[in-house]
Amino acid sequence: MSIRRVCVFLDVDGVLNTTNPKEPNTPGYLNPVLLKRFCSLVTSARAVDKGICIGVVISSSWRSDKGLMATLKKALLDNGVLPTQLLGATDKFQMNSAHLRPGMSITKQLDMRLKLMGKTRCREIEAWLAQNSTKYDLVNWIAIDDMDLLGGTRSMSELKFVLTDIRLGFTEDKLQEAASKLLSISKAAMPPPKRQDENRATQNMNMPRKSSREAQKIAIARVRQKSISMEYKDKQKHGIQPASNHRYRNRNPGAIVPRTRRPSQTTAKPRSTRVLDSVFNQ
């Protein structure tokens, strides 16, 4: 059975910890129940039976702190996640704050900041996929976050996103939702191999097309050359040496020859030659 790879873009705050007053508000705290629930998704026996390997990519703000990242990696490894399943973290992009105006109310500024943060995180996920999806041969992915990422980019749809509540975190319902979206891989999710005729059609589409005027010029040149070649062969058939003409001298009858003006005759021809020329040029 061939192994198919999928990945989860994991946010930490609001997913593996909550704003519950009963939880300690200390940096680096991870709720053990939520952490174990998430690791059960990554090490799911259902995924193993389907031949699916689930990887984890950190998209949380924890990636900017080496101490928090070390704590998170240790917690994941202690709960059964393999080192090969940790695929790294997304790059941090600068948020575009041009839409934040001084005249906005505090509520509008907070809403706009959340939207910009969501769009920035979507761009970070897309950038990671563009660089690594071929490397890991990914066939599917989802993002788990407490920020609403829907609409941030075109690729972020409802089938790719699981929204958690910052007060509850990664609940059992969210586990079932994430598993159904992540493991429901059909043959349509994997691009079929291209056939030879499709590759040829793609190459023809990528080739630069000639303009209609150029094609018309080429067609006219071919017709003219064909008539010249037929006239030349007809004269050879009857054993008549054609008159000295620049069109027959050192020319390939099958080649495309651009039309040029006939050079003027400076010397008088014998009468017999002029008669033959007048007959064949009619």
Give the span between the Cα atoms of 236 and 170, in whole angstroms.
92
List 140's β-bridge partners, or say none: 6
**Nearest C-alpha neighbor of 145 from the set 132, 160, 126:** 160
pLDDT in tens, 84-134: 999 999 988 766 665 556 666 667 666 666 667 778 888 899 999 999 999
Structure tokens at 153: 């980019």
Phi-psi region of 208 (alpha: psi -120 to 50; beta: other; left: phi over 0): beta
**Three-state helix/strand/coil letters over 219-255:** HHHHHHHHHHHHHHHHHHHCCCCCCCCCCCCCCCCCC
Cβ-count burial of 60 within 10 angstroms (0-12 exposed, 13-18 middle, 19+ buried)? Answer: buried
- More confident site: 186 or 185: 185
**Nearest C-alpha neighbor of 147 from the set 8, 7, 11:** 11
- More confident site: 74 or 248: 74
Give the chain's end-to-end CA distance (angstroms, integer): 79
pTM of the model: 0.62
Domains of the chain: 4-188 (3.40.50)
3-state secondary structure of 29: coil
- More confident site: 129 or 3: 129
- More confident site: 107 or 147: 147
Phi-psi region of 192 (alpha: psi -120 to 50; beta: other; left: phi over 0): beta
pLDDT of residue 189: 45
Give the strands of the sheet with 161-163, arranged side by side.
Answer: 86-89, 52-58, 4-10, 138-145, 161-163
- Mean pLDDT confidence for 23-30: 89
Residue 9 has pLDDT above 90, yes or no: yes
Distances, alpha carbon 129 to alpha carbons 63, 90, 163, 164, in Å: 17, 9, 20, 22
